[in-house]
Amino acid sequence: MNTRKEKIHEIIEKLIAIHEDAAELRYWESIFDELSESEQEKLLDILEKELATLNP
């Protein structure tokens, strides 16, 4: 089973592949461990929704 961090990494790679802001997304990935549980969940939720919207 993927961890939340792995899921975020996968989504970020897909978003960068469709030209999302790589520097910003890499920044989020770098500070992932500094986020609280709820902040990590919120980040995952936002990224999942963006990917679903751009890549239905």
Partner 1 sequence: MMPAFETGTETETTMEDFRTERADLLKRVINRKTAEAALLLTPGVDVVALAAFAARGETLAGKELDGRERLNYAAIAGFLGMFYVLGLSGMQKEAMAARGVAATLATIEFGPDLFEKTAELAQERMPSAVSFLEKTGDFIKDKQSLIEDVRRSMIEIATNDPGLISLNLDEHA
Residue 3 interacts with partner 1 (CB under 8 A): yes or no: no
47 — phi, psi (to 5°)? -65, -40
Tokens at 42, concatenated:
């919120």
Query: Among 7, 9, 16, 35, which residue interacts with partner 1 (rule: CB under 8 A)?
Result: 35
Task: Please count the residues of the chain.
Answer: 56
Residue 22 interacts with partner 1 (CB under 8 A): yes or no: no
- How many helices and strands (H and E) does the chain possess? 3, 0
Q: Which residues bind partner 1 (CB under 8 A)?
A: 14, 17-21, 23-24, 27-28, 30-31, 33-36, 39, 42-43, 46-47, 49-50, 53-56
